[in-house]
Amino acid sequence: MNRNVLSKIDYTMVFIIFLFACISFISIYYAPLDETGSRAMSLAYRQIGWYIFSFLIASLIMIMDYDRLKRMHWIFYGLGMFLLFGLTLAQLGLPIPLVDDSHGAWSWYALPGIGQLQPSEFMKLFLIISLAATIDKHNEQYQIRGMREDLLLIGKLALISLPPFILVFIQPDLGMSLVFFSIIVSMIIVSGISWKLITAVMGMIVSGLVFFVISWFKFPFIIDLILKSHQKDRFLAWQNPYQFRNEQGYQLIQSLNSIGSGEFFHHGYNAAISLPEAYNDFIFSVIGGTFGFVGGVTVVLLYFLLISRIVRTAVDTHDPFGSYMCTGIVGMIMFQVFENIGMTIQIMPITGLTLPFLSYGGSSLLSSMICIGIVQSVRIQTQKFMFT
């Protein structure tokens, strides 16, 4: 890597990721591994290994010309769909090798010697790239925009987005489906589509949500057609965890107890030793219990600073394709952070989403670090072209 490239790196973003790595290691180390209270020490050291590997991959992407992603986006999209379709076939009963149906969903491949691979974590990245390439090409082709051109673009984005969305939803993985949805919405907003049309689409979405809420209380048979039983249980546990003491209700109660025990600035090991998936989906509960309110606020502020740096890159770049990718990444991270932290404090239902850069997991961390590599690449290329 030459000195010219090194001078263009966003070191503030790099430092934030370094802080996330430190917080992730400490939090996973202190997280309860099981009901005996043993700590997840081996997972903490393995997470550092994933961080090192992910950093190397992100560094390679950072120095690469990100315009190659636009030329190869259908290859990435096809690969992601192939992996998702394999999970769907296994769900239908076909003998697909390496498929792991743990945790009540068909979302993983079990790779010997490596661990679990979750294709949807990478598909959300491939979706961002394909949507950005499609929007960029459409806007280049149609310089003068009208309702017809905007509807055509919405149709293209729908054709790209619906297949992976449906395959992930039927796994069933409601949380990741909502991440896909947040990516789509964020990129439509900056795509140049008329705000009248965007408002109409948003009105339809809001109407759908209102219909869902009304059906939940008045027509439960409709909810039974939409949601799987374990997904419905999550909503029930979210409404009243002390009444519905299923797995999700128990998790939420333990999460609230853990965060509450942290007080303002707690020192030491958090006492909530019976929190399932504490090192993964509920890592924020460990942070709140171990470091208190100050630790939780610090994490939120770091996410805010990271998102602001990505937004700055999206605004500064001269290239619409790079800006669209950064926007999709912002939408993805914002929703995951809001949903994950929200579900630990009962303002959002439990969906099983990881907290980016902090939760244990190779697939989640690698896909998040690749996003950082793409953003850095956009920043580097932007500065290069500005001074050429």
pLDDT digits (tens, 9 = 90+) for 94-129: 777 777 666 666 787 887 777 788 899 999 999 999
Is the model's pLDDT at 57 over the cut of 90? yes
37 in any annotated domain: no
* Cβ-based neighbour number of residue 125 at 10 Å: 23
- Domain tally for the chain? 1
Is the model's pLDDT at 243 over the cut of 60? yes
| d(C-alpha 72, C-alpha 50), whole Å | 26
84 in any annotated domain: yes
107 in any annotated domain: yes
Handedness of CA 364, 186, 174, 161 (dihedral sign): negative
Share of the chain above pLDDT 70, in %: 89
**Structural contact between residues 48 and 338, judged by C-beta atoms closer than 8 angstroms:** no
| Beta pairing class for 108-111 and 115-117 | antiparallel
361 in any annotated domain: no
Domain range for residue 88? 69-273+280-355
3 in any annotated domain: no
Share of the chain above pLDDT 90, in %: 41
Structure-model confidence comparison of residues 276 and 74, the more confident one: 74
387 in any annotated domain: no
Specify the pLDDT at position 222: 78
75 in any annotated domain: yes
pLDDT confidence band for 223 (50 / 70 / 90):
confident
pLDDT confidence band for 21 (50 / 70 / 90):
very high
pTM score, two decimals?
0.90
Is the model's pLDDT at 385 over the cut of 50? no
Q: Kindly give, in sequence order, each residue whose CB lies less than 8 Å from that of residue 214, ignoring residues fewer than 6 positions away.
A: none
What is the DSSP-derived secondary structure letter of residue 193?
Answer: -
292 in any annotated domain: yes
